[in-house]
Amino acid sequence: MRRFSTIDHPRAQCGATSRRAFLRESAMGIGAVALAHLLAGEGMLSADPAAGSKTRLDLRPRPGHFTPQAQSVILLFQNGGPSQMDLFDPKPELTSRNGQVYAEKVEVLQPGNSDQLMASPFPFKKHGQCGMELSDRLPHLGSIADELCLVRSMYTENNNHPQALRHFLTGKTFPGRPTLGAWVSYALGTENQNLPAFVALRDPKGYNSGSSLNWDSGWLPAVYRGTEFQSQGSPVLNLHSAVELPAGAQQADLDLLARFNEKHHRRFPNEGDLEARIRHYELAARMQLSAERALDLASETEATQTLYGMDKPPTADYGKRCLMARRLVESGVRFVHIEAPVRTPWDSHSNLKQGIEEIALKVDQPAAALISDLKQRGLLESTIVVWTGEFGRLPVSQNGNGRDHNRNAFGLFVAGGGFKKGYIHGATDEFGYRAVEGRVGCPDFQATLLNQLGLDHEQLKYFHNGREETLTDPAVSRARVADELLA
């Protein structure tokens, strides 16, 4: 049933040998050149302070610090702050004391908060052999509970969207730093030189809170920034000519251009960017093929499309983006960031029941489909799938039937990539206000993710403004690898 050639399956085998094999077999004729680059590939270097800002600027694959468990990451980001006590952290105490005054003064963000506890409007049920208790809004994720590692004891540093988004994605609450995906691209490059290392897939209707900064490279070189692929129309901007050209005309353009550019480059032989630009025009032509092929969802069976919910309006778009993510990872893309439907869908300050019903309906089935599809194709062990928001919500009611932001507790799912399966980690207090057992901070989670990719978060450095910067800044954050989550 193999449908793809080796080029689409650089991950069919892992490690350097398969890369070499892949390149040798490559039908696209980049083998010799790219192989030379590959074999000359640098090891893990942290930028040399003496060299100023001069650092490597390419996306060639390179080894990490140790043997990785996983090759790539799909981040299913749930913007807005999913409510833990309404989704995956049942709190009977909230139900039995619904409407009673909560003794503790909670930290609120917005006006409209009461001091009264609010029960979840949703019933909970145990799933799988592990007995993971989830609300009835997540039936599909429930059906694969035995694949999931559920962390109920996450916490973050700030209860406002921009700061909390940045804390989860960049390690700090303030702006300007590189996101996780940019760090991973910087560290590991990517397996398929015909596609970007880091791809972002947003709702075609717009951006979520944080906008394109959610996949920005901050002060890392711009080559590590996430590239937006579109889920409607052509996947890459300007992939095809804006004007219709006769067959062969573009090739003639490219030939003449290559001659002019080669001649220009000979005048300035030390300028690496000129060389890169020459190759980019070659790549542009190849990408027209590879991006289209990597994202040709029509070649997926009807059963697969149905699995992702592409046949039903609520799940069609998110399902499509999840399936795109699977194909991208399959084609060697290192990091895929999928945004939730616009804009902060989990941000239920009021009408929480209706809000959660709507958004859960859109994302539950596609997320579960992605995990089971990856497993079925033998890709789940080498792919880390993360389902998370930026913070959780409060046990007291806001505006009568909603919940305000909570930085002291939130929950997330991880699947694949050497994380434990059918495992529930940590606990919040009886009301779900605070993570109390097995607390995991965002930098801890980042360190753990990097660890599974073969990267030591203390060693992955970039020299910036006089300082060797890291994603987790362990000296300040005391970030650690959360071994307890790992199989």
Amino acid 10 reads P
Q: Does 287 engage in binding with another protein (CB under 8 A)?
A: yes
74 Cα distance to chain centroid: 4
Q: Does 222 engage in binding with another protein (CB under 8 A)?
A: yes
Determine contact, residues 458/473, Cβ cutoff 8 Å: no
According to CB under 8 A, which one of 15, 176, 378, 400 is a site residue for another protein?
Answer: 176
Q: Which residue has the tokens 């973050």?
A: 156
According to CB under 8 A, which one of 1, 40, 298, 466 is a site residue for another protein?
Answer: 466
Nearer to another protein, 37 or 420 (CB): 37
Q: Does 232 engage in binding with another protein (CB under 8 A)?
A: yes
Near another protein in 348-377, by CB under 8 A: 349
- 178, two tokens: 């590189």
According to CB under 8 A, which one of 17, 67, 129, 465 is a site residue for another protein?
Answer: 465
According to CB under 8 A, which one of 136, 281, 299, 311 is a site residue for another protein?
Answer: 281
Q: Does 14 engage in binding with another protein (CB under 8 A)?
A: no
Q: Exposure pattern of 318-342 as b/e (b: 16+ CB <10 Å)?
A: bbbbbbbbbbbbbbbbbbbbbbbbe
How many chain residues bind another protein (CB under 8 A)? Answer: 78
Q: Does 228 engage in binding with another protein (CB under 8 A)?
A: yes
Three-state DSSP class for 76? strand
Nearer to another protein, 200 or 481 (CB): 200
Q: Does 175 engage in binding with another protein (CB under 8 A)?
A: yes
Residue 218 CB, nearest distance to another protein (Å)?
Answer: 9
Amino acid 272 reads G
Near another protein in 380-439, by CB under 8 A: none
CA distance 208 to 235: 19
User: Judged by CB under 8 A, which stretch of 106-114, 295-303, 354-362, 373-381 contacts another protein?
Assistant: 106-114
Residue 200, beta-bridge partner list:
228, 337
Three-state DSSP class for 446? helix
Nearer to another protein, 235 or 454 (CB): 235
Q: Does 239 engage in binding with another protein (CB under 8 A)?
A: yes
Three-state DSSP class for 129? coil
Residue 464 CB, nearest distance to another protein (Å)?
Answer: 9
Q: Does 208 engage in binding with another protein (CB under 8 A)?
A: yes
According to CB under 8 A, which one of 221, 395, 411, 418 is a site residue for another protein?
Answer: 221
H-only helix segments in 54-118: 84-87, 92-96
Q: Does 44 engage in binding with another protein (CB under 8 A)?
A: no
Between vectors from CA 198 to CA 194 and to CA 200, what angle results, nearest 5°?
Answer: 115
Determine contact, residues 248/204, Cβ cutoff 8 Å: no
